[in-house]
Structures are given as structure tokens and as C-alpha cells.
Structure 1
Amino acid sequence: MPSFFATALLLSLASAAAVPSKRGSYGSNHGKSKLNIQVGDRPYYLVNDMDEGPLKQKLQKCSEGPFKTTDFVFSHRGAALQFPEHTVEGLTAARRQGAGVMECDVAFTKDKKLVCRHAQCDLHTTTNILNRTDLAAKCTTPFTPASGDTPASAKCCTSDITLADFKSLCGKMDGFNPNATTVEEYMDGTPYFRTDLYSTCGTVMTHDKYIDIVDGWGLQFTPELKTPEVDMPFDGYTQEQYAQDLINAYKNKGIDAKRVWPQSFLPDDIFYWIAKEPKFGKQAVYLDERVDTPEGYANATASLPSLAAKGVKVIAPAFFALTKLDAAGKIIPSEYAIAAKNAGLDIVAWSFDRSGWLNQGGDYYYQYVAKSVNNDGDMYTVLDVLARQVGIKGIFSDWPATVTYYANCFGLGK
């Protein structure tokens, strides 16, 4: 027995010596020429949870794959259901799960460098900046503990710090505790349906690093120009230059425009790219948040033909806006979805696997079909309508494997 353990220890040490320890090697193919796409347990759990019927039977028949990367799957902030968003680790997980289009939400630092962050001012909920006294002091609003009916607060922006400062941060799961009286309590606010298992110190990314990683994998890009939360121009930095800098990053690295899907919630950004960078503007994605109110939804639906006439090719609302219930309670395409297709617009939806349990009708993303949603398996029922009836080009997902399973089963994307 002692000799067995000694041999095992020596083999273990030899193996460890042969494996690179640098984080830069994270996500490599480990010498293989082809990546083995893995979807894990979640798709099977969802399929088993579905109501009986032809869709469930079809998805069950696809259980053994094989699975491949598909551009129907847009990685939303990496794999944010379980990994800190916009980190190398999350992006790598999304690649392993078969996402063919990778996202970087783009914000700028104090020295006007581009980095991957969902919002310009979210560092206090997505990184460890408040634990870094040297950087916390630079935040727009320092941490203030909860007191009485006043919740805890903080506001830390990428524009508060330099690129060098940003690169020294650790990514964490997005969340905060409004009842916190200490920084440690404030940072401990991960939503109940996510996990901190992989949130030890996520490797944050600059926009350039993201491009290099995704280009090395041979996949497609979808950078979103985040709406600034500071007055523009910012120290002379204009919105137009910000939009141009995003495109320049791909041009400088020789990236084919056909691989890039630039996004923005601001129509002027989309029109700028269409006019100034038409090769990239052809695939610019207008993120349509006007649908959030009934009046906005009606106005957005009516405006789709005029957007198409102005050169917009791709529209992207939250996926709730693309479905509704008929008189019998069946999920069908919405007026918005029909209008978009009639206008000749491609549709990309967001964001799948971003809700908690659906046994009480879901949340924001299921609001128009809540009466017909009563279990997690209904996610695939909704996705099926989006894919085969609405005809979406792709969908962002916080856990790409869920959509990869479906897309491979129905031969979607390429």
C-alpha cells in the first residue's frame, strides 16, 4: 500500500509539471484539433421536465448528439448563469457549450480604452472593486451601508479608473445585498438560481483581449456599445468616436466584417455604422427596448418598416415581445414578430436562461405567455415557437448549452 501511494504521488506530480499553470492556457484544446462540444446536464433536465407531446419526443431523440458549435447560439456575457460575466472563464465555458457568436459589452475607461463590462457603472456589483481600498476610493459613489429604510448603495464605473486599474480587478457573479451594512455583505448578493462555485477570481477582459480570444477560436463576435452613464463628450471623447473605436478594433486586427455583429440600444449608433462603416453596419443589431411598455410596444411595431427603410437589417428585442397567447392559450408569434418579418428584418432575441424557476409563470422574459408557463421545461416550448414560427436568426443565452442542444436537434445555424 505505501508503495502504491508513493507511485501515485510521483505520477501526479509529473502530470502537474507537464500542465501549464498560467491562466492564459485556460480553454485551450489541450492538443486536440477539434473541440468536443458538451452540453452537460441542464438540457436533459429541461427536456425531462417538459409536458408530453411531439416536441418532447423529438428533443429526447437527440439526447446522444453529436453536438457542434452553431451560430444560432449567441453567448450572453459568456455563460452568466454560473460564471462571472465578461470573464475569460465564462467565455471559455460558452465556447465549450457550443456558442458560435460571443458577446462583449463594451464600455470605456478613464483613459478611453475599451473593456468588456455589461454597463459602464456596474463594477460595484460585478467585480471586487469595493474590496480594493486603493480603487474603491475612485468610485463615483463610495459604499454606503443600509440604514433604516435606505438600502445600501455604491456606484463604480469603468470611467472612474484607468485600463491598468481595470485589469487588476477580479470578476464576480453580478449581484448585491441591499440590506448590507458592510462591503462584504453588500457583495454577497448572488441571485438564488445562480451560483458562486466558479466565482473565485474571474479574469476580466479588455475588448482587444476578447477579440484575440474569439478570433483564436475561429468564432463570430457581437460587441455591444454600451450606452454611456456619463455625459458625452467625456473629457473630449464623443459618442461618434466611441462608436468608431469599437469598429476600428476589428479593422486593426484584420477581422472580416462578416464575422462581427455590432449592437447598440441607441439608434444613432446603428445609423452611424450604416453610414460610416457599411460593411459592419450591414450586420449592426438594433437592441429594441421600446417594447417594455404597451405604448412603446405598439410604437415599436409600427416603426419597423421605417427602420428597415433606413438600412437597419437586424432587430433584437427581449424575446417576450416576439410571442403572445391566442384565445386558446397557445403560444404564437406576436404582432411585433410578424411586422419584423414583413419588413424583411432578421431577428435576434435576448436572453434565454436568464430567469429563475418558471413554475409560477416566469418573469420579465415570459410576461406575455405567463398563463401558459408552469414548469422549467416550458422554456423549450417557447424557444420552439421563436425558432420555428417566429424564425429568429439566433438567441442570446446565459447558458449556451441549453440552446445548443435545441439548435443541433433541429439543424439550426451553421
Structure 2
Amino acid sequence: MQYLLLTSALLLGLASAAVINKDGYPTKSFNVQIGPRPYYLVDNMDEGPLKKKMQSCSEGPFKVSDFVFAHRGAPLQFPEHTLQSYHAARREGAGVIECDVAFTKDKKLVCRHSQCDLHTTTNVLNRTDLAHKCTTPFTPAKDGVPAAAKCCTSDFTESEFESLCGKMDGFNPNATTVHEYMAGTPYFRTNLYSTCGTVMTLNKYIALVDSWRLKFTAELKTPEVEMPYLGYTQEQYAQDMIDAFKKANIHPSRVFAQSFLPDDIFYWIDNEPNFAKQAVYLDERVDTPEGYANATASIPGLAKRGVKIMAPAFFALTKVDGAGQIVPSEYAIAVGKAGMDIVGWSFERSGWLNKGGDYYYQYVSSVINNDGDMYTVLDVLAQKVKIRAMFSDWPATVTYYASCFGL
């Protein structure tokens, strides 16, 4: 009898521990999994104290971290802004997950990196019932003129958008057929998980991330159609994005609203001050030397206007000093002096670094020579620039570092 009682109690305990959530996984057991890539990068690092520290963290534990912003989910290997990409980002430890927000023909909000990227990020060109609605239907390459197409969220209703399949972002400019045009995935990514990604509306993204009790970063994408669009103003667009979170009862402390347009940030400061406390000004002015200088000089004024978080491409946050060391840039120092936070973007978008990196490493290319140097740069950003967070196309890479250093 005692044996039977013990057995019954054990079975009840196991049943309780194995409650299944709507995603089909046990609710009481969630393990962050980083996969082999961080270990490959650590092995590739130059010998030194940082490598030894990173090696010492090889067995974890690895934890969810708000230092890790999932850039479009996990698009290094999954179609961006899809359900599958978001699931991967969550599993890799991202504490904050992104939805870039664009609007449809019927003025509904959906997750897409650009208002007009459907021709490179979905199967719309293969959809004979929808392709003809694109702003610019597919035209093949001919006589030295590259292939072209332009398909926008505003070309389709929300229901039409949701019928699409997400694919890896890319295209072949030399294509003479739609099939060839769509086969343009960059060399450092994969089509292995790109059979038919489930595209997301803003509301479904909010419900998903909320169910995981994680945080949100939603970027109001700059429209590629003339505004107002059929009476839809930029201000209403900015308000609608915030209203989606309010209607879902999401506390402002869980939301990082973003935009490249300063007027959007100012609108939220003036009209949604609670959400503006974590509004992120994505600063693309740094892309030219003149713009970098002007952006740096403007930091005190932006701080006075109420901007709290600056987010340039992370190349703008470091430089190489006279001793050949990577150090904080003038821009980073100015932001720090103004009492503002910094979020960098975007890790894991560069491919191989053995030739000095590309756009994201342009100010430190002279001292970059292997993939492991990604962690060298991230360490400077975290420890010296003191960034608040880093966007990443493969969150596991940053999660490894964040867990190792308790971020």
C-alpha cells in the first residue's frame, strides 16, 4: 500500500510538472539553448584574458537577458519577422524581441522590416493571385539592366498579407525568371528553415511575446508611400502602434518603441510620455563623416528635447586609438555625457570578418582579422561604451556573452 501511495504521488508530481502550454512545450521547464555558433566564435578568438573568460563560461548557465535584442527574430537562419524566427530568438535567450511595423492597404499594422520588401522576404512573386497587385511587378534582367520588382505591404490587405509565406531576405539581380530572382539568399545564411515562414501581424506578435513574458521593441518603419496615405497621417500611424500595446494591456516599461524619424520620437515624447521613456532614436546620420560629426554635436540638444536612448549602427560607437586599441568613439562619449542610454545594431549581419569586416566594423577594420573579433568588439561596447543592449540577428551569440558577464 505504501508503495502504491508513493507511486501515485510521483505520477501526480510528474503530471503537474509536465503541463503543456499552447506551443506544445512544458510550462515549468524552459532552457536557453545557444547552439554551436558561440563556441565557434570563442575558439576563433585571439589568445588572451577575454578568450579565457569566455571559455570559462562554456557550460553556462545561459539565461534570458534584456541585454539581448532579437533583431527581426533570428534571421541569420530563419525568415525574418516570422513566427519561426521569433521562436528561435526566444529559445536563444533574447529578452527583447523586435517587430518592425508597416501598414497594409487597409491600414492594419504588420511586422515587416520595410514597407516595400515583400518581393525579397516573401513568396508574393510566386502568387499569381497577388503578384499583379505589386507596385512594380517582376521584370527580368535584360541587356545589362538588373531584374526588378517592388511589392509593398500597402499593396495588400491584412488578410492577403497573412496568406504569404516568409522566406530568407535576398534576391538575384541577374534573374530572368521569378524562381531565379527569389534564389538570392546571402552566402552566410541558409534556406534550411525557409519552407514557409508564418508572417506576423503586430497584434499577433504582441500576443506571442506577451505569452512568453518577454519585452518588446517595435520600430515604426519610415513609409515608402506618400503620407498622408489615403488620409492616414504619420501621427496616426505612430499613435496606432502605441495603441496596439495599450489595448493589449502591455505596461510601457516592457516596450521599446523605435524610429529613424526624430519626429516620431518627439511625437511620443509629447503625446505618450510613458512609452517615450524607452523610445529609441535609431540614428542613421552617422553613415557619412559629415553626418557623424553633426550627429555627435546634436546629442545635447536631443537630450534636452527628452530623447533617452540613442541607437546607431554599432560601428559608430568605437574607434582605434593611437596605440591600436579599440576604444569608445566621440559619439559614444557624447551620448554618455548627456546621460542617455545606447542600444547598438546589429550583430551577426556581416558574414565573415577575416578580411576586416564590413559596414559594422568599418571604424575598427584595421585591427579585425577573424570571426572571434566579434566578441572583442562586443566586449568594448559592453564594458567601455556601456551599451544598454545589442540587437543581433542570431541572439545566441550575444546571450553567451551576456550570461558570461552577468548582463
TM-score scaled to structure 2, two decimals?
0.94
Corresponding residue number in structure 2 for 1:97: 92
Corresponding residue number in structure 2 for 1:110: 105
Partner SS for 2:256: coil
Aligned pair partner of 2:179 in 178, 184, 188: 184
Corresponding residue number in structure 1 for 2:318: 323
Shift of 1:328: 2.0
Unaligned segments of structure 2, at least 5 residues: 1-19
Shift of 1:34: 3.1
One-letter code aligned to 1:154:
A
- Give, in whole Å, the separation in 1 of the partners of 2:148 and 2:335: 40
Corresponding residue number in structure 2 for 1:392: 387
Partner SS for 1:261: strand
- Give, in whole Å, the separation in 2 of the partners of 1:373 and 1:289: 23
Aligned pair partner of 1:66 in 61, 68, 92: 61
- Give, in whole Å, the separation in 2 of the partners of 1:332 and 1:319: 12
Verify: 1:365 aligned to 2:342, yes or no.
no
Partner SS for 1:388: helix
Shift of 1:35: 1.1
- Give, in whole Å, the separation in 1 of the partners of 2:59 and 2:278: 34
Verify: 1:200 aligned to 2:198, yes or no.
no
- Write out per-residue CA displacement over residues 116-161 of structure 1, whole angstroms, 9 at most, x where no aligned residue: 0000000000000000011100000010000121000000000000
Partner SS for 1:247: helix
Partner SS for 2:102: strand
Corresponding residue number in structure 1 for 2:77: 82
- Give, in whole Å, the separation in 1 of the partners of 2:89 and 2:192: 16
One-letter code aligned to 1:293:
T
Verify: 1:136 aligned to 2:131, yes or no.
yes
- Write out per-residue CA displacement over residues 334-377 of structure 1, whole angstroms, 9 at most, x where no aligned residue: 00000000011100000001111000000000000001000000
- Give, in whole Å, the separation in 2 of the partners of 1:328 and 1:193: 33
Contact kept? 1:29, 1:35, Cα under 8 Å: no
Aligned pair partner of 2:344 in 325, 340, 349: 349
Contact kept? 1:325, 1:332, Cα under 8 Å: yes
Aligned pair partner of 1:236 in 226, 231, 236: 231
Verify: 1:305 aligned to 2:311, yes or no.
no
Verify: 1:278 aligned to 2:254, yes or no.
no
Corresponding residue number in structure 2 for 1:127: 122
- Please, what is the CA RMSD of the aligned residues? 1.0
Partner SS for 1:93: helix
- Structure 1 stretches of 4+ with a deviation exceeding 2 A read none
- Give, in whole Å, the separation in 2 of the partners of 1:29 and 1:283: 33
Distance 1:29 1:302, change over 3 A: farther
Corresponding residue number in structure 1 for 2:52: 57
Deviation larger for 326-335 or 373-382:
326-335
TM-score scaled to structure 1, two decimals?
0.93
Shift of 1:29: 6.0
Corresponding residue number in structure 1 for 2:332: 337
Deviation larger for 321-330 or 294-303:
321-330
Corresponding residue number in structure 2 for 1:13: none
Count of matched residue pairs: 388
